[in-house]
Amino acid sequence: MGQLSLVVTCTDRKVDAPEAALCARNLPQGSVKQRSSNWQTRLQSATARGGSSLPSLTDLYRGDHWTRSRRLVTAASAAGHRTQLWVASAGLGLQPVEPEPRTAPPYAATFSTRHADSVATSAAENAQWWGHLQEGTGQVTLQELGQRGPVLMVLSEVYASAMEEELLALGRLGGESLLIGGVREIPGVHRVRSDAGLRHALGGTLTSLNVRMAASWLEHSHDGTLTSPATQKAWNDWAAATTKPEQYNREPMSDEDVIVFIKREAAEVPGISRTRLLRALRDGGKACEQSRFANLYKKTMGER
């Protein structure tokens, strides 16, 4: 059995604030290719200046999502897999975290088209950006990882959309691959949709739910095979018996509490949509009327 590659998304929270040049909002106007090239030049310059003082990717990111992502290595090892952790980043491409970490400067870049540091203005442009970034700074593609062995991916909606061409290429390989989250079904890739009904059993916030689901999937794998029929059955039986319907006796929230919630959740999952944030708030037993939440979201995220 080949090495299991664990692919997770990065987080908006970093160990330090980025310099102005490494905030996507400060890129000059131009085509996606021009902006990507400019970004990569800035990244290379900052990396050269920082040298050995730069944090490793292990230490660069912060938040519950990242903490849980790193723990996936232990969960995978316990399930009998030899593993390597990779991070998919809108600022860096696909990079190794463990056991061959690289260093990188703090940066602010996201696929969320509503964020101040968005790298593009549409899903199509996000995909273009990812392609250019991978050509320039990415260390490997999903297809190449699939040639080494099974691949387990924990991807948010916007990341899965941006990386769709690589997901399709991975699926065409015919190897063993599992996607937790994502945005749609990919031929040849086994997908487990994000299920907010499992939060009461898995704990944590919505931002780390997909990673916690991935860890639970690995715990239900007892034959050393990522997507064997036995593993799929064990997971499906557990999830069906565990998922909890949404409750509607929710607790009202003040504007200030809603804003704090939006900031915290959006910081940990770059690109999380307003709709998903509202669903997460309500899944947590809290109440906020849709139009009120939309106005507070716009105020918090700086939208007009």
Cα-flanking dihedrals φ and ψ of residue 77, to 5°? Answer: -65, -40
Is residue 36 predicted with pLDDT exceeding 80?
Answer: yes
Please give the angle made by the CA atoms of 181, 130 and 196, to the nearest 5 degrees. 15
pLDDT recorded at residue 98: 78
Q: Is the dihedral of CA 189, 194, 276, 5 positive or negative?
A: negative
pLDDT tens-digit profile of 252-289?
Answer: 899 999 999 998 888 777 667 788 888 888 877 788 98
Assessment of whether the complete model's pTM goes beyond 0.95 = no
pLDDT recorded at residue 249: 62
Domain ranges of the chain: 4-242, 251-301
Q: Rounded to an integer, what distance in angstroms lies between the CA atom of residue 57 and that of residue 92?
A: 10
Is residue 251 predicted with pLDDT exceeding 90?
Answer: no
3-state SS, one letter per residue, for the chain: CCCEEEEEECCCCECCCCCHHHEHHHCCCCCHHHHHHHHHHHHHHHHHHHHHHCCEHHHHECCHHHHHHHHHHHHHHHCCCCEEEEEEECCCEEEEEECCCCECCCCECECCCCCCCECCCCHHHHHHHHHHHHHHCCCCCHHHHHHHCCEEEEECHHHHHHCHHHHHHHHHHCCCEEEEECCCCECCEEEECCCHHHHHHHCCCHHHHHHHHHHHHHHCCCCCCCCCHHHHHHHHHHHHHHCCCCCCCCEECCHHHHHHHHHHHHHHCCCCCHHHHHHHHHHCCEECCHHHHHHHHHHHHCCC
pLDDT band at 34 (very low <50, low <70, confident <90, very high): very high
pLDDT above 90 coverage of the chain, percent = 69
Q: Which of 105-119, 173-187, 196-210 has the lowest mean pLDDT?
A: 196-210
pLDDT, the chain, mean:
91
pLDDT recorded at residue 304: 39
pLDDT tens-digit profile of 50-96?
Answer: 988 999 999 999 988 999 999 999 999 999 999 999 999 999 999 99
Q: Which amino acid is at 178?
A: L
pLDDT band at 164 (very low <50, low <70, confident <90, very high): very high
Spell out the residues 6+ positions from residue 295 whose beta carbon is closer than 8 angstroms to its own: none
